Structure 1
Amino acid sequence: MIVGGALTGWLDALERLAGSRAKAGLTRQLRPRPADDFVVDLAGNDYLGLSAHPAVVGASAEALRAYGLGATGSRLVRGSTEAHAALESDLAAWLGAPAALVFSSGYLANLAAVRGLSAVADLVVSDAYNHASLIDGCKISGQRTVVAPHNDPAAVAAILDAHPGATAVVVTESVFSVDGDLAPLPALHEVTSARGALLLVDDAHAVGILGPRGAGAVAAAGLAGHPDVIVTATLSKSLGGAGGVVSAPRQFIDHLVDTGRTFIYDTALPPAVVAGVAAAIRVAAAADDRRDVLLTRGVHTVARLTAAGFEVAPPAAGVLSVLAPGPEAAVAWAADCRDRGVAVGCFRPPSTPDGTSRLRLTLNAGVSDEDFTRALDVIVECAP
């Protein structure tokens, strides 16, 4: 017989864990925003300001009328539409890859890519600052995983050399999601190619911003289309939509279609989102003016915050971070900014790989110059 206390004991345990998180300043809150939210957005990832672009919204609305609200099934049942096929063709051409496969989120794309490579690799070398989705992909891959010091090709080489005979894949972000620094992709590829290893790059924060026509950091490094390079990205950042993509040789894409659990068993991305993202690619590929805005704002932001006494590294793309004294201070800082009409990201452990809290700012090209300047003033004035 189950006693009443046994039924509620697990809830008491969760309450105690919540109390511990609260004492450490690690409680998180959902903050629903209205459609007419007029804050200056330096928190979201809509780097190029395309989420509300007329061409993007128009294409999405047209597909919504044509297909309805959802995809109605997984990609292998009823979820693959002509819009999905067209988007995958556009993505492969834009990113310079032989083929591409669209997922319903970037997180699922990363899980599929890392796990999929476990069929041909028995060692995974993962950068210490990698995103949670890559870390989780390493865990579910079932293969040996060695964590390499952040952005250290020599350390990666030493790890690979310490595992002779292993077939390895090195996993990294291109632009890292917390601090916005850029991985040394040419040096990493030199290390992997010399040792017969594969290189998997999560290009989420660089696609749309870096490289020719915004094709990403992998393209900027001259590595697009290399048979030993696999690229993942989200469609929810510079492209202003949702979903994720794996771009790679056709054989690997076919392998994911046949075996990728986060592809096979997941409902497909809605066609309206797919069509909107396809339109966003066309805008982004020709958006050198918006990329110039981000570059200029990055220089301006570093100068403004440095003059105010903060240590800020120049951003490699559209994201930079400002250190906070601690998690409570970071939460209060972000809240004060929000109260004054400026949304900023607040990153605390476990979201920060080094255990340090910070504000994360995104250089949104869709924000006016006047609002952007005012937002920086607010950030400085609200600093703890």
Structure 2
Amino acid sequence: MSRTDIHERVQAHAEERAAQGRQRRRRIVTRRDGVQLEVDGRWLAGFCSNDYLGLALQFEVAAALQDAAAREGAGSTASHLVCGHHTLHEQLEREVAEWLEVPRALLFGSGFAANLAVQQALLTEEEDVCVQDRLNHASLIDATRLAGCRLRRYPHVDAEGALRQLRSATGGAAMLATDGVFSMDGDIAPLRALAQVARSEQALLYVDDAHGIGVVGAQGRGSVAEAGLGVEDVPLQLVTLGKALGGYGALVAGDAELVEHLAGNARPYIYTTALPPAQAAAALAAVKLARRDDWRRERLYELVALFRTSAGRLGLELMPSNTPIQPVLCGSEAVASAMSAALEQAGFLVGAIRPPTVPEGQSRLRVTFSTLHTPQQVQALVVAIADAREQVARGA
């Protein structure tokens, strides 16, 4: 029996992607100035980052990074359980736990690693099951597959569907996992209903709140707090440092016993180098600002409301989202890509999101907002999207 040639497989995949118009390419950003990005020699107004609170370039955050790097160097030199756990890591974990009003938090190098850690450490048997929203982030789906347990998926934001899947998956331990704010649709999971489902079926509810932390709820405490739930309802939640907090890394926060179990048993925690202390210092500064500066969220939601009102007047097809993630539906992949290109010509950088990231027939422009945007930029963007729609329609 002959083996499959990997190079031939890769080439065939590339040809298929090209035929479907689904190639992905990296854009090289030369410089940043607030929401302005220099890309390929042109300055564009960026409406595609996750820097919702404008903290990535904030002075206090950058100064904390520089000061800590000058004192502590570029890296942590080891894993947390060897000699890589620095006092700055400890301070960050305590600050986040206090912010979210939970007993413990544990720092990871990325949200992807954290989601894998939770499932690999807690769902250890083949008969265990993880029930997930169909539109959950890829890292949650991949984590279940890598953990080796059963994966069951329910229709988007359908708590009754989650209940049916849990009841049909008998035996073993059960976890119910959901995004808090969905990264491509911008809507929020029905966490109170899901908490009731998890309680009735003896399942652990785990919320990946990557796009909710810093943005949703009082003091930006996220979608779990916004739903009025505590650690008894949601024993573990993911806090990402690379979205509204403007940095890099993630934490799993919640029940002390479960977090301690992760620290001693989760392979993505044990067998990887700890986050650089300087990065933890920057994140610590960002968390303090996110807790303190309610004006950032207030301005952000004023911009979102302005966008939705202005887009409605011009007949743009939006999705039911009140978060800084505002998808503009385009339908086909070709239309989404063409509109994104037209927007770039007009001076705006907005990503075209296509399958398999979103379902077939639901390609879109993923418009995201930062507190650093101005009302004038938002209104200009809406006009540019409407113009791009007309331009693409004329060329069809």
TM-score by length of 2: 0.91
**Cα distance between partner residues in 2 of 1:353 and 1:233:** 26
Which position in structure 1 is the counterpart of 2:106?
Answer: 101
Counterpart residue number, 2:302: 296
For residue 44 of structure 1, the aligned residue among 37, 46, 49 is 49
Question: What letter matches 2:59 in structure 1?
Answer: P
Q: Secondary structure of 2:31's partner?
A: coil
Quote the Cα distance in structure 2 between the aligned partners of 1:30 and 1:110: 25
Over the matched positions of the two proteins, sequence identity in percent amounts to 36
Q: Which residue of 1 aligns with 2:10?
A: 14
SS in 2 for 1:35: strand
Q: Give CA deviations for 1:96-130 in whole Å, capped at 9, x if unaligned.
A: 21101111111111111122220488121111001
User: 1:80-159 alignment to 2 at 5 Å?
Assistant: 80-119=85-124, 122-159=128-165
Specify whether residues 366 and 228 from structure 1 end up closer, same or farther in structure 2 by C-alpha distance, changes over 3 A only. closer
Distance in 2 (alpha carbons) for counterparts of 1:180 and 1:252: 29
Find runs of 4+ consecutive structure 1 residues off by over 6 angstroms: none
- Preserved CA contact (<8 Å) 2:64 2:282: yes
The question of 1:267 aligning with 2:273 is answered yes
SS at match of 1:39: strand
Maintained 8 Å contact 1:227/1:248 = no
SS in 1 for 2:156: coil
- Residue type at the aligned position of 1:16: A
Which residue matches 1:286? 292
- Provide the residue aligned with 2:251 in structure 1: 245
Aligned length: 379
Do 2:128 and 2:149's aligned partners in 1 also have CA atoms closer than 8 Å?
Answer: yes
Please tell me the root mean square deviation across aligned C-alpha atoms, in Å: 2.0
Map 1:226-241; keep pairs closer than 5 Å. 226=232, 228-241=234-247
Q: Distance in 2 between matches of 1:355 and 1:328?
A: 11
Tell me the secondary structure at the aligned position of residue 216 of structure 2.
coil
The answer to whether the aligner puts 1:217 opposite 2:229 as a matched pair is no
Quickly say closer, same or farther: Cα 1:133–1:355, change in 2 above 3 A.
farther
Rounded to whole Å, the distance in 1 between the matches of 2:61 and 2:24 is: 32
Q: Where does residue 202 of structure 1 map in the other structure? A: 208
SS of the equivalent of 1:34 reads strand
Q: Could you tell me how far 1:164 is from its partner in structure 2? A: 4.5
| 1:59 equivalent in structure 2 | 64
Question: Cα deviation per residue 1:241-283 (whole Å; 9 max; x = unaligned)?
Answer: 0101111212111211122111112222122211111101111
Q: Report the CA distance between 1:314 and its aligned residue.
A: 4.0
Question: How far did 1:297 drift?
Answer: 1.7
What do the CA deviations read for 1:285-333 (whole angstroms, capped 9, x no partner)?
Answer: 1222111122222222122222222221342321121112322222222
> CA–CA distance in 1 between the matches of 2:25 and 2:201?
46
- Superposition pairs for residues 161-172 of structure 1, below 5 Å? 161-172=167-178
SS state at 1:84 partner: helix
Using the TM superposition, name which of 314-323 and 281-290 deviates more. 314-323
State the match for 2:35 in structure 1. Answer: none
CA distance in 2, matches of 1:303, 1:382: 19
3-state DSSP of counterpart to 2:30: coil
In structure 1, list runs of 5 or more residues that go unmatched.
Answer: none
Deviations 1:159-216 (A, max 9, x none): 2223445431101001100010111000110111122211010001110011121000
- Shift of residue 227 of structure 1? 6.1
AA of the residue aligned to 1:135: I
